[in-house]
Amino acid sequence: MARRPAAGAGGDYSAEHIQVLEGLDPVRKRPGMYIGSTGPSGLHHLVWEVVDNAIDEAMAGYCTRIDVTLLADGGVRVADNGRGIPVDEHPQYKGKSAAEIVMTTLHAGGKFGGGGYKVSGGLHGVGVSVVNALSARLVLEVDRDGHTYRQEYAAEPGRGRAAARPGVPQGKLRAVAASKRGHTGTTITFWPDPDVFEETEFRAATVTERLQVMAFLNRGLTITFTDERTGHKDTQTFHNDAGIVDFVRHLNHAKEPLFKDVGSFSDSGEEGEVEVAWQWNTGYHEGLHSYANGISTTEGGMHAEGFKRALTQAINRYAKARNLVKGKDASFQGDDVREGLTAIISVRLTDPQFEGQTKAKLGNTEMRSLVERATNEHFGRWLEEHPNPAKAIVGKASNAARARSAAKQARELTRRKTALDGVGMPDKLADCATRDRDATELFIVEGDSAGGSARDARDPKTQAILPLRGKILNVERAAMDKVVANAEIQSLTAAIGAGIGADFDLDKVRYGKVIVLADADVDGGHIRTLLITFFFRQMTPLVEAGRLYVAQPPLYSVEIGGQKVYVPDDAARLRVTEEHANRQLQFARFKGLGEMDPHELRETCMDPATRHLVQLDVTDQEATADERLSTLMGDDVEARRSWIQHNAKDARFLDV
């Protein structure tokens, strides 16, 4: 029987307990609700919010240039040559400029049907005000009506036990100078608040990847990136006259195209506008990436659905009309025709309906009709006008259909063997005891030695261990029938329990977290990359759901002041040496996970209280992840070398 709490023992609940969060206080109280997290992804989200406002100006036809700068003191400056945020007094808020309302009020902006924007990505209206709320300081500069206006905001400490007040104006918006002749635009400079974020150091590659995609999606727009930080000096310019056609070429640059030209079309109707570009390659993976008003719809939606349907119909019609298929190959499935496809679908519409706060899926049914009609018409005509590429596409689809049939037979054979053997799990799997899936973790390790150490170090109630023999197959270069026939991949698939490829079902995954645990050296790094490639290509929903992690074992240990300190890599070893220049430090290098004592492995990799895990996240960066894995795991050695040389300065984990 439930007992009623005694009076005064925490059971009182009256009007004084009701909190009203005003202004920007809700953002400060629950930042994760607005930017996802206070880790690196949330930190970079601040940049996206400001850049996306400038992109909206570009989509409206008023902005041709955006400049993004990482400042030497840790701040970020984003400047555009759009119309500039309105600076006149807001009619509903006497004594306050429209710019101040935008910067300090949630759900204030020109994107809610007031005529400011016909097409826009930022329809929640919380963007730039959230940046202000989570910054220690922010400076707004607006060039408009022949003047440069300036206003500064800052987080002010609360009085007594009161919380800090975020984004407080430090004076009125004022004209401080005459702007350059004819120049208009908005410049926002902000410094993330270290009291909010786990870290405040921006990663240049993360920023430039996003800016490059924005330039591809907005033909003719120039976006510059400048890094003024010590040791990171860099300048890059992104501009594409061919738009998404250049985007497809970029995504395929590390692959072998099936034909030279990139096909494309654009169309419009009462529903909105659609642009599509495509090119097949000799690989085995589909690279279909969709966008709505510049927002990456990683879960697809109606526009992607319309394209897929029309693509399959058009290729089947063409193949039958040309007698290129016979018998049981008379009709291709969607997966067959999309094997090796790289395509970009970009739509623009007045009132996009996104499913969920993340905007990962477009729900407007009218866009399915527009894209399907346009694809049937334009892609069908393209096949007729390009007979050699069309024949190559049909040939590749035929091979994919045969491989799909062989893979299905291999899966069925594996299932029959499992049923006959009466054993559903791999022999080497050391499973956990609990059946509470959300509390469980599967550690994937390489080799029996590492597997033995991990078994001794684990919590058997919640942690399972699966040792693999050697490096798994590089699925980037293998057809599906080869993938499902691989013994180690069969073990991995059986342990996770949710199928593989098109058959994968996220609801059937047996563990709450899947954790890759490999040595900290170069070989371990290669194994990690092979496994990440496998999960991204064959169990994509697992990655998208944020359930794939990478453990960070140390490369060294060292005694400092009688305490053992674990050092993750050579760069960290150098920092420790510099911090303790007066000591003679003796670093011990771990030869591998199998050489670590169970308590060392538990403390550094398996104990939730002391370990460090990296969560794999492809949220709204799926095209970049696709291109990255193709570069690192594909056949183009020169592209791989070039990427490594360019990004070496951003590396966090090195083994030299």
Q: Where are the domains of the chain?
A: 25-236, 244-404, 425-553+593-619, 556-589
Dihedral sign for Cα atoms in the order 329, 334, 340, 342? positive
Query: What's the confidence (pLDDT) of residue 627?
Result: 65
**Residues whose CB is less than 8 angstroms from the CB of residue 635 and which lie 6 or more positions away in sequence, other chains included:** 256, 477
Query: What's the confidence (pLDDT) of residue 563?
Result: 86
Per-residue three-class SS string for 442-461? EEEEECHHHHHHHHHHCCCC
Average pLDDT, the chain: 84
CATH, domain 425-553+593-619, list 3.40.50.670, 3.40.30.10, 3.40.50.720, 2.60.40.1930: 3.40.50.670
pTM of the shown model: 0.73
Query: What's the confidence (pLDDT) of residue 161?
Result: 55
Query: What's the confidence (pLDDT) of residue 329?
Result: 55
Q: What is the pLDDT of residues 301-360, one digit of tens each?
A: 999 999 999 999 999 999 999 988 876 556 899 999 999 999 999 999 988 888 765 568
Dihedral sign for Cα atoms in the order 343, 540, 547, 590? negative
DSSP of 555-620:
SEEEEETTEEEEE-SHHHHHHHHHHTTTS---EEE---GGGS-HHHHIIIII-TTT--EEE---TT
Query: Strands, E, within 341-406: which ranges?
Result: 341-348
CATH, domain 25-236, list 3.30.565.10, 3.40.228.10, 3.40.50.720, 2.40.30.10: 3.30.565.10
Report the CATH number of the 244-404 domain.
Answer: 3.30.230.10
DSSP 401: H
Between CA 400 and CA 211 the distance in angstroms is 35
Question: Could you tell me how many helices (H) and strands (E) the chain has, helices first?
Answer: 20, 22
32, 42 in Cβ contact below 8 A? yes
| Residues with catalytic function | 446, 519, 521, 523
Residue type for 177, please? Answer: A
Q: For the chain, which residues score pLDDT lower than 70?
A: 1-23, 107-126, 158-163, 327-330, 356-359, 410-424, 619-656
Query: What's the confidence (pLDDT) of residue 125?
Result: 39
DSSP 358: T
- 3-class secondary structure, 656: coil
Between CA 82 and CA 185 the distance in angstroms is 4
Helices 387-421 and 365-385: angle between axes, nearest 10 degrees: 120
Query: What's the confidence (pLDDT) of residue 260?
Result: 92
Query: Strands, E, within 41-132: which ranges?
Result: 65-70, 76-80
- For the stretch 379-387, contacts whose Cβ atoms lie closer than 8 Å and that sit 24 or more positions apart, written own/partner, are 379/263, 379/265, 379/276, 379/278, 379/310, 379/311, 379/314, 380/314, 380/317, 380/318, 382/263, 382/265, 383/314, 383/315, 383/318, 384/318, 386/259, 386/261, 386/263
